Structure 1
Amino acid sequence: MDFQLLLAQYRQRQPAQSRQHQLHQCLRAAILDGTLAAQTALPASRYLATDLQIARNTVLYAYEQLAAEGLVFTMRQRTLVAAVAQRSRAPSAPVTPPPLSQRSRRLSAPLDEISAAHAFAPGVPDMHAFPVQEWRRLLDRAWAAATPAQLGYSDPQGDPELRDALAEHLRVTRAVQCTGEQIFITDGTQQSLDLCAFALADAGEVAWLEDPGYVGALTAFEAAQLKVIGQPVDAEGINLSDADWQQKPRLIYVTPSHQYPTGHVLTLPRRLALLEQARQQGTWILEDDYDSEFRHDGPPLPAMQGLRPDAPVLYLGTFSKTLMPALRIGYLVVPQHLVAAILAVASRSLPRGRQVEQRALAAFMRDGLFIRHLRRMRRLYAARRDALLAALQRHLPQVPVHGASTGMHLTIALPPDIADTAVHALAMQQGLLVKPLSRLQVSASTPSLNGLVLGYAQLEIDEIERAVKLLARLIAASRSGDNQPR
């Protein structure tokens, strides 16, 4: 705490008091009104006297007076603030705060808290399986080798070693055609989307979003003041007609490997048609390749970005699902001719730091630890997917299941007489986080959806049976209008 500022503010209110009295009364008032909380350590008398440019005896007198009043006490040669009944600060006159933006007022409630503590929380990896010891070793090594330059502002594109390691990984595992020069390291997919929306489209231009779709993309497009139009999704992915292209979209956001949230895979004919139409219309495709590392049935599907050399695609990815959300590292692959333009924007908007963590991640990939971790998680998640499918067949045999071939979640469809929002509300009370499909719809004009998104990556196999049995009871309770599971 800045005691110089604290004392200066008090002196403005009580200029006639002696310095000794001023310091005592200032600290006393700060303790009683809660500015100095209980257990706060006051500076040593010598240091405080030097900082305030007053005699040390003045500080000693103030501390002694406070101790006599029971407001401070000493422990292990430190002076600590005691726990006292604090008096309320004088209320200020009521004021009318400035209004929020129209964009923020449309967000009427916060999103559900996503955490591993909730069974079925989508998008949550198994953090217990993360190789903490190996990561700590690489992080320690990166810090030991860190130069003064790495402690400053970094390259706007991110650490070159990480970008090169990532480019090699994407070329081999996702058939993405790129070099490290085309990669921008971001804080995650949301920041990549914000960057794309700002750099590639002007306010009022049209952006297409799969419907139902990813709320983060909707937020990024609306924040950029784009006209967002939801395009329906069927079993073959985003479903576009020739008439739709009359809208002349500037941006199209798609999740072709595992459509969010339905889990459908965009078929090859539709991928090629989308690329050709986008090329002819001058439209940018934002390919979010989330969950593509975890394909459980059949061979891996190559990314759209690499299907043709002139693909108008910006490729988005993140380590939040493959490693851990707290890492806060994502990436954006842009066409070579866009690098300079995106760099001009990124240099003014992207955070420029965490070089040591990026260097550790580069070593994690270069040493083969990332691939080893992915292989382990594929086996783990596939086993949990199988256990969830078996439990659903036992306890909810009439419920259709979609999107189980890839990723960390699947969806189930509910009958019309059971509202997914009602099941969601009951489930939250029981510690289950099942995301309603109806809340992920972009446009009211698209067919209404009624179902649940079930994440399984963070669930132990022996927990899945219990969770599905509970979910089945909640669904039955929602049908009967009851508030409690039977």
Structure 2
Amino acid sequence: MDYALILAQYQRQHLAANYSRQRMLYEALRTAILSQQLLAATRLPATRQLSAELGIARNSVIYAYEQLASEGLVCADQRGTLVAPLSLSLPTSKAEIPQQGLSQRGRAFKTPFIDPDTLAAFTPGVPSLADFPHARWQRLIARSWRNIKPEQLAYGHAAGEPALREAIAGHLRAARGVVCDASQVFITDGTQNSLDLCARLFADAGDLAWIENPGYTGATNAFSTAQLLLRGIAVDQNGINPSPKDWQNHPPRLIYVTPSHQYPLGSVLSLERRLMLIRQAQAVGALIIEDDYDSEFRRDGPPLPAMQGLVPNSPVIYLGTFSKTLFPALRTGFMLVPLQFTQAVEAALAQCHPLGRQIEQIALAEFVRSGEFASHLRRMRKLYSERRDAMSEAITRHFGPLAPIYGGSSGMHLSIKLQPQYPDQIISQQAFSERLIARPLSAYIISPALPCNGYILGYAQVPSAEMDANIAHLARLVKTY
């Protein structure tokens, strides 16, 4: 990279600017980064080297680097200064990210992960779409259209199609030990929609919500935009682990957990902690939001029953989705609320959340009721076990002791942890440019901050035969640091 050219270009475009040499260098580098002339993960020259190349004082280069670092545009590691991912930068002017007119809720959204292709290697949360029974689904959709009644072309029941609610309730009773009837099941547009509803219906602005730390950014966004206060609770190998001081000093209104396969680390919440969490939540008047993420793909040992059914009248709102078990474009999830809330939730949804999509819901009800759903899950468990094993073997082969593996007992992803000298977010950007989706663990940290460095690697959509080459590619990127 010709830094003298970058500086000269900026000077030509800003002839009227009466800047000092150090200010001119800072502005030139800043413009080059924001315009992506200097790409993420570019290593800037050492201050002494750039000083000699440009013929300016080294202190001027140090000043420019320090200013860029204060804005999050560059970051330092043991080998020097690198351009930070642009999505992580914090632009300082309203011209760069317009803020005028946005509410506090609107400004609370975190920058999302933008994946170029959901089928790129290691994208988490995406099932094996090629193995979905397309022909069977097409027949069910066609049958739904043949049998549809005119009134079913309207908005439909606020709580969802009755046949689907019944089918889901039956499945949850048999497969997850949930204690419920269909009146407690509400069809949503997916887990994110369910989280938004929970934040608005079961908490007020300023209430405290606990989230696993590191934890799911979708829950963070839902609660932040509902103006709830957030507190991250540390996770270990047995799941979320609140201390007595957490309960005493920071009692929550909502507690969000992913007990079957913690996102992102993959730990399974132990039965002892499930019962303890329920008892403590009852004591402080909190509601637990149980996102039963990846519960269908438990492989090592029998699945633990859902928290919702462990004790009578548990203070648990149970969330599920068909995006991971069938396909994301179905946009269908569900939440199961305690019996005392059913009438209020249905009234709220009737006034602000008309559903529709009866055709898909009728077809899905038949898919579940006929046993096709259970058969599909059995096939996917076998397939995902093979792909998990292929990924584990490849990680061990190419990373060795550099990257301990977490979360292999269930789900559709593994996590690997790395030492701090490997900048996970910068390497993630490099991998992204080469169509490898390595989500950085450090991006999932919630206040209070905890050290966490590594990657979430989805394996469900990666054929076993392609796993080794993709992991080898990622390992090469990591080992360059």
TM-score, normalised to structure 2, is 0.78
Where 1:243 maps in the other structure, the secondary structure is helix
Alignment CA distance shift 1:276-1:114 (3 Å): farther
Query: What is the CA-CA distance between 1:111 and the residue it aligns to?
Result: 2.1
Would you say 1:375 and 2:378 are equivalent positions? yes
Aligned to 1:458: 461
- Separation in structure 2 between the aligned mates of residue 440 and residue 359 of structure 1, nearest angstrom: 37
Q: Which amino acid aligns with 2:189?
A: D
Query: What is the CA-CA distance between 1:104 and the residue it aligns to?
Result: 3.2
Where 2:472 maps in the other structure, the secondary structure is helix
Out of 357, 361, 364, the position equivalent to 2:364 is 361
Q: Which has the larger radius of gyration?
A: 1
Would you say 1:431 and 2:426 are equivalent positions? no
Q: 1:149-183 CA distances to partner (integer Å, 9 max, x unpaired)?
A: 10002111101111111111000110011111110
- Separation in structure 1 between the aligned mates of residue 460 and residue 373 of structure 2, nearest angstrom: 18
Aligned to 2:392: 389
Aligned to 1:161: 163
For residues 59-78 of structure 1, the aligned pairs below 5 Å read: none
Q: Which amino acid aligns with 1:321?
A: K
Alignment CA distance shift 1:316-1:433 (3 Å): same
Alignment CA distance shift 1:114-1:201 (3 Å): farther
- Separation in structure 2 between the aligned mates of residue 284 and residue 245 of structure 1, nearest angstrom: 14
Contact 1:232 1:446 in 2 (8 A): no
Alignment CA distance shift 1:249-1:112 (3 Å): same
Aligned to 1:142: 144
Contact 1:186 1:350 in 2 (8 A): no
Query: What is the CA-CA distance between 1:253 and the residue it aligns to?
Result: 0.3
Aligned to 1:415: 419
Would you say 1:341 and 2:340 are equivalent positions? no
- Separation in structure 2 between the aligned mates of residue 266 and residue 212 of structure 1, nearest angstrom: 14
Alignment CA distance shift 1:97-1:207 (3 Å): closer
For residues 70-89 of structure 1, the aligned pairs below 5 Å read: none
Aligned to 2:181: 179
Query: What is the CA-CA distance between 1:106 and the residue it aligns to?
Result: 4.5
- Separation in structure 2 between the aligned mates of residue 110 and residue 405 of structure 1, nearest angstrom: 28
- Separation in structure 2 between the aligned mates of residue 109 and residue 360 of structure 1, nearest angstrom: 35
For residues 16-31 of structure 1, the aligned pairs below 5 Å read: none
- Structure 1, unmatched stretches of 5+, are 1-95, 480-486
RMSD: 1.3
Contact 1:157 1:346 in 2 (8 A): yes
Aligned to 2:199: 197
- Separation in structure 2 between the aligned mates of residue 380 and residue 97 of structure 1, nearest angstrom: 46
Out of 227, 231, 234, the position equivalent to 1:232 is 234
For residues 9-408 of structure 1, the aligned pairs below 5 Å read: 98-107=100-109, 109-113=111-115, 115-246=117-248, 247-398=250-401, 399-408=403-412
Contact 2:116 2:435 in 1 (8 A): no
Deviates more, 1:379-388 or 1:244-253: 244-253
Query: What is the CA-CA distance between 1:97 and the residue it aligns to?
Result: 8.6
Query: What is the CA-CA distance between 1:299 and the residue it aligns to?
Result: 0.9
Query: What is the CA-CA distance between 1:98 and the residue it aligns to?
Result: 4.1
Where 2:400 maps in the other structure, the secondary structure is coil
Query: What is the CA-CA distance between 1:329 and the residue it aligns to?
Result: 0.3
Q: 1:52-94 CA distances to partner (integer Å, 9 max, x unpaired)?
A: xxxxxxxxxxxxxxxxxxxxxxxxxxxxxxxxxxxxxxxxxxx
Contact 2:109 2:224 in 1 (8 A): no
Q: 1:222-251 CA distances to partner (integer Å, 9 max, x unpaired)?
A: 111111111111111111111111222100
Q: 1:159-209 CA distances to partner (integer Å, 9 max, x unpaired)?
A: 111111111100011001111111000000011111111111111011111
Q: Which amino acid aligns with 2:427?
A: V
Where 1:390 maps in the other structure, the secondary structure is helix
Contact 1:115 1:124 in 2 (8 A): no
Where 1:410 maps in the other structure, the secondary structure is strand
Where 2:318 maps in the other structure, the secondary structure is strand
Aligned to 1:36: none
Q: Which amino acid aligns with 1:403?
A: G
Contact 1:161 1:362 in 2 (8 A): yes
Query: What is the CA-CA distance between 1:412 and the residue it aligns to?
Result: 0.2
- Separation in structure 1 between the aligned mates of residue 353 and residue 244 of structure 2, nearest angstrom: 37
Q: 1:4-29 CA distances to partner (integer Å, 9 max, x unpaired)?
A: xxxxxxxxxxxxxxxxxxxxxxxxxx
Where 1:380 maps in the other structure, the secondary structure is helix
Alignment CA distance shift 1:98-1:423 (3 Å): closer
Alignment CA distance shift 1:258-1:108 (3 Å): closer
Q: Which amino acid aligns with 1:296?
A: R
Number of positions where the alignment pairs a residue of Structure 1 with one of Structure 2? 382
TM-score, normalised to structure 1, is 0.77
- Separation in structure 2 between the aligned mates of residue 166 and residue 103 of structure 1, nearest angstrom: 33
Q: Which amino acid aligns with 1:320?
A: S
